[in-house]
Chain A
Amino acid sequence: MAKAPKPLWLRIYNFLSGYTLAVILLSILLVLTYLGTMAQVEVGLYDASEKYFESFFLKDKIGPVPIVLPGVYLVSVLLFLNLLLGAIIRARKSWKRPGMLIAHGGILYILFAGFVAFHFTEEGSMMLYEGDRADEIYNLTDWSIEVARHDADGKRKAALVIGEEDLKPLWEKGARRTFFHQGMPFEFEIYSYSRNVTNSKGQLTGVPLEKDRGKYPDAGEFIDGLAVVPQKESKTREANVPATYIKVKEVSGKVLAHSILVGANPFAPRPLTVEAGGQTWSIDLTRRRYSLPFGIELIKFTKEDHPGTARAREYASDVYRVDDGETTDKYHISMNKPMRYAGYTLYQASWGPPDAKPGDRLYTSLAVSRNPADQWPKYGTYVISFGMVVHFLQKLFAHLRRSARSRKKKEVAQ
């Protein structure tokens, strides 16, 4: 009698929790790691990371043949599922092998930490001269559009933020997207978004004047004497400055503004100003900013050079934490000694200006991050180590027991 076929759900479950999928996924990870690493040479660190390591799927080519591959994000999700089903749920539970369960639990924990870090980390920079204060950081590579209502003094209490994740689809040629919010008396359309409008020297060569129209046959529409012309993107992603066309409309359809937004200097925002509903609003294309729940004031920046050179040997920042406008605790931040407060870590990252001469005033550059899973990989490693130690000790004791038994047997036989 023929054996009854297994139900579909069981076959899927077996596949998802099986070694076959684990081997396939690990092989794909190997290939993607190789491709992603090699691609960094061509497109730079961030773009390669986004394309290969942060995507669900990616388009690539083998020679002239276009192919679609799963991204590391998808592979990691499947690997998590595979480990959970195969090594935890489906695996034989026995007091003889708790170490393996613990070790696989540790691997799952690290994969989960990666997921949390990827989705919830806030990273940015803060540059301060001595005496300066700041309570916001900005990301060097991600851009955003911030929309804010200003009171009579020109101040903003909050900003609506369109993050890079919603701007990314606009990188495609021909893409356009209308953004709205119930608290905003208008909506606006973003189109012909260009990821970079600067040349290698940082000049805005992608925003030509109308009088030079002849030199830019590919230029889009000219608005108030300027247009947007995409320029070659730099592999150093932080050097790219985006620009886009924007059309602001009232709900009735009346056009309030038709203009261009160009990526702004985070220290001197110069946004598009819109008057709507008797209120003043600003729309700014800016590096992604994050507000901190506290401020930092730089008291002193110290840089020590290697003798006889201008190469920094050591640099450090003495700062005050500022709460509600008042300076509070003092911290010393150096290269291996970050400041940790309220879930944020402030590292001594750099200093500038890069072309500073001896005696010039210097600023400190602090890298700030808030990663809820900051320490999780460390804990995960401890868990894996503990699991391995338990497993190998059990194996060792089992081996010793077997050896003792076999010695006894031999002794009895003699």
Chain B
Amino acid sequence: MTTPLIEIRSAPHVQGPKSVETIMRHVVYSLLPICAFYVFQYGISALASIAVVTAACLLAERFFVGTGTQAGRLSDYSAVITGLLLALTLPPGFPLWMGAVAGLVAIALGKALFGGIGFNVFNPALVGRAFVQAAFPTAIATYTPSFLAGRFTEFIPSSLAWPLMVPADAAAWLKAKNLDALAGATPLAKWKFDGVVANAIDLLTSISGNMAVGPAPVLILLCGAYLALRRFMDWRIPLAIIGSAALTAWLLYAFDALRYPNPFFMLFSGGLILGAVYMATDMATSPVTPKGMWVYGALIGLLTVVIRYYSGLPEGVMYAILIANAASPLIEKVTQPVPFGRGVLDRARKRATYPLNPGYISREEASAVTPKKRFLPNKPKK
């Protein structure tokens, strides 16, 4: 009798359908409509920016995976997500070479340094963005309005700047297009420096022309809802961020409506929605415990509003998320789940089919059986 070759391995012998690749691939799919809208807003400059930044991320990932110091591999799509998200946070006319620097730094400092996928402490896309924010403060603050005529035939001049050269002045280019320089300021900057509050509905759809805004928050929310329903993303974090930011903004607005903008403006301006749905939910850098997710999200929402209102910067989402990333191991530590049977033990649900004790009939009867507790044991009976 020949002995057939059989293997032994540890149970379970079946495995669920979800893998790292499928999760990451679906996140990329959900980002594609957002990128398409971004290109529709800003034309070929945006397209070039997305392509260059993503290519830079993939190049860096390829290099570090190749050196063998980093876990994971290229086909897990995580570098693509980093690249797309990073491109979406940069101004559309951001010089392409700077975008490439941002992409390389994002993977090198944000991910490879810590050991690759799963080990990073900070969201790599935001690390890249924080780096260029510090390195090129002027370029990253230079926005151009969306839906310009001829955006599909002509690059925004600053995009094509030579490496290490000062990019072309966007204001002069805008003037040539009969737009004032203020049109190139983001709604948040306008509010911060000029006290102009944009209409929240316009911001939500981002479709009415010539605003310097990112992709439409409503589209991001829809794509996020797809991910959350397919359970490729946790719904608690975005909800906690939006809820806590809205609550904080609303409290301040109720306190002083003249000084603070209305909460809807707060929610839909800047990168809050993009950050809440795509940046903060980065799995490796957010807590795993459900309670921790709420705390983490609430912290981001609060910090965002505080930074926006009380700091010199118009935008605060990036730093809020990075700070919360740093706090997330601690949050996780204090929000460990309570194991089954170790919490409050008498929380029998009302929905239960059978009473725990078959002798139990009514409360009166139960109290007749068990003597009432006395606070004063020797109290004389009346």
B partners with A: no
